Amino acid sequence: MLRIINLQKKFTVENGADNHILNGLNLTVEDGEFVTILGNNGAGKSTLFNLISGAVLPNDGYIYLDEKDITFMPEHKRSQFIGRVFQSPMRGTAPNLTVAENLALAYGRQNRKNLNWALTKPLKAIFREKLAEADMGLEDKLDSKIKNLSGGQCQVVALIMCTIKPPELILLDEHTAALDPKTAEDVMAFTQRVVKKDQLTALMITHHLEDAIAYGNRLIMMDRGVVAHEFTGDEKKNITPEELRTLYHLKES
């Protein structure tokens, strides 16, 4: 599904030196896999997501998605089949528009053949049904502006916007990091249901060791711009947060 080959990215810093972020990273993610990603700051996690989504371009290497070479494809074209939920609850949404208007914009982008995506009663019914699945009362907030929602509610709307038409790949970029523990737990549970229901291929960056272990079928540890280790099967299921922290000197989240 996703093949990354010898991916390299460097940035020039103030003194003119090169700061190498990714150093020949290789990764294959099969269709329907849910991969969690850990690593200290500077390991290259966010840069990897930026390269996959097209926000930045690599210095070398290749990215293939469903056998398509997307290495240098413009970001706006990739957004048609790659979804991304960011750490900031407001990013990826239009804060001054209502929940219904945000969902209608996403629905319109994903259903280009249907140009008449005005807020009709049938469309609102679709949105209400999807929002109700999160069990956060969002089905009653269709006319509320995004900026007036809680952080967890914003993240749920952003996730629904990304998956209203199931993407080929979804990137979950520390999407619970800004939430309190209880809300983060609720958002992760909803994320799990969406990924499972739509059989999504997902990559999730997290600093929560427990979430990295509990969710997904594979755990990747990044270090110095490469995949340092992978945990699958019983190894992933049985490893403890303490063991992960000791093995890789992870900082507390």
List average pLDDT for each run of 10 residues in the chain, which is 253 residues long. 96 86 97 96 95 97 97 95 93 93 84 58 92 94 95 96 94 96 95 96 96 96 94 95 84 53
**Alpha carbon distance 163, 16 (integer Å):** 41
Structural domain that includes position 39: 1-75+207-253
Residue 59 lies in a domain: yes
For the chain, the first-to-last Cα distance in angstroms comes to 30
11: which 2 tokens? 């940035």
pLDDT at residue number 251:
61
- Domain of 6, CATH number, reads 3.40.50.300
Residue 149 lies in a domain: no
pLDDT at residue number 15:
82
Residue 182 lies in a domain: no
Q: Given its phi and psi angles, is residue 29 left (phi above 0), alpha (psi -120 to 50 degrees) or beta?
A: beta
Amino acid identity, position 184: A
Residue 167 lies in a domain: no
**Alpha carbon distance 151, 94 (integer Å):** 14
Our count of domains for the chain comes to: 1
Q: How many CB atoms lie within 10 A of CB 90?
A: 16
pLDDT at residue number 141:
96
* Full-model pTM: 0.92
Give me the torsion for CA of 172, 137, 197, 77, rounded to 10°.
Answer: -40
Residue 89 lies in a domain: no
Task: Give Cα separations from 135 to 91, 95, 173 (angstroms).
Answer: 22, 21, 22
pLDDT at residue number 115:
42
Residue 119 lies in a domain: no
Residue 95 lies in a domain: no
Give me the torsion for CA of 122, 124, 127, 131, rounded to 10°.
Answer: -130
**Alpha carbon distance 63, 23 (integer Å):** 14
